[in-house]
Amino acid sequence: MRLQQVLSVTRKAIDDYHMIEEGDKIAIGISGGKDSLTLLYALHGLKRFYPNHFDIHAVTVDLGFDNLNLDRIVSLCEELQVPYTIVKTDIAQIIFEDRKESNPCSLCAKMRKGALNQAIKEQGCNKVAYAHHKDDVEETMLLSLIYEGRFHTFSPVTYLDRMELTVIRPLLYMNEMDVIGFVKKNQVPVVKSPCPADGNTKREYVHLLLKQLIQENPGVKERMFTAIQNGLDAWKL
């Protein structure tokens, strides 16, 4: 997938859900994975010609794993001339050594978001962009349906009252395969997650389940997203 195609799909989601307003300062949560780096390229590209002027600031929460190397991300942000903040934490030690959590993902997510939101506010940002794409939306719906007994997924725009911060999801309309294609075509410097729980979670199970559903039922992916989007339309302004 070419950058121009990424920009087109991203802009459509931004326009449909009014994600960006004049003067916004948007933090981009950078994990180092393919999704967040694609989002970085997308917002950096849109910034040059989008009618509403906005600034971006990349932020990574370093969980404290010894084998995490962010040098390539630092170099990329310098190349793109995007300010980049790395937040050092002891989250990995707390979860895997001190507490020895058997199901670490939920607590890790809460602590990571807390550290991220604090850093975002310190940088003067009023919005944060998460790199959830179309597959993430569908997987979250299946997770909620299977494990919680309710029909729920990400909303395109969420206002966090306590933080006075707005969450936006500009990759909402992108397929994961398109993200993978963009990353490969443009040799994006992806950093592999050092987390020992990576690939062994309920989300990974649902990820594989969705792939199986798509293989066995042609067109099911778009039908699922259409059903979800009928609910998402309630969030349109």
CA-to-CA distance for 77 and 140, rounded, in angstroms?
30
Q: Residue 152 is encoded by which pair of tokens? A: 């729920």
CA 61 to chain CA centroid, Å, is 13
Kindly state the helix (H) or strand (E) to which residue 173 belongs, with its residue range. Answer: none
What is the full per-residue pLDDT of the chain (237 aa) written as tens digits?
Answer: 899 999 999 999 999 999 999 999 999 999 999 999 999 999 999 999 999 999 999 999 999 888 888 999 999 999 999 999 999 999 988 988 888 877 788 888 889 999 999 999 999 999 999 999 999 999 999 999 998 898 888 899 999 998 899 999 999 999 999 999 999 999 999 998 887 776 667 888 899 999 999 999 999 999 999 988 887 665 454
CA 75 to chain CA centroid, Å, is 21
Question: What does the DSSP assignment read for 27-48?
Answer: EEE--SSHHHHHHHHHHHHHHT
Residue 4 DSSP code: H
CA-to-CA distance for 1 and 3, rounded, in angstroms?
7
Residues β-bridged to residue 158: 167
Contact 68, 88 (CB under 8 A): no
Q: Residue 17 is encoded by which pair of tokens? A: 């859900």
Q: 3-235 falls under which CATH superfamily?
A: HUPs (3.40.50.620)
Domain boundaries, the chain: 3-235
User: Three-class SS of residue 227?
Assistant: helix
Please compute Rg for the chain using Cα positions.
18
Q: What's the predicted TM-score (pTM) here?
A: 0.90
Query: Considering all CA atoms of the chain, what is the largest pairwise distance in Å, rounded to the nearest integer?
Result: 49
Q: Residue 73 is encoded by which pair of tokens? A: 């991300």
Residues β-bridged to residue 113: none
How many other β-carbons are positioned within 10 Å of the β-carbon of residue 111? 18
pLDDT of residue 24: 98
Give me the sign of the Cα torsion angle 33, 159, 112, 155: negative
Contact 38, 30 (CB under 8 A): no
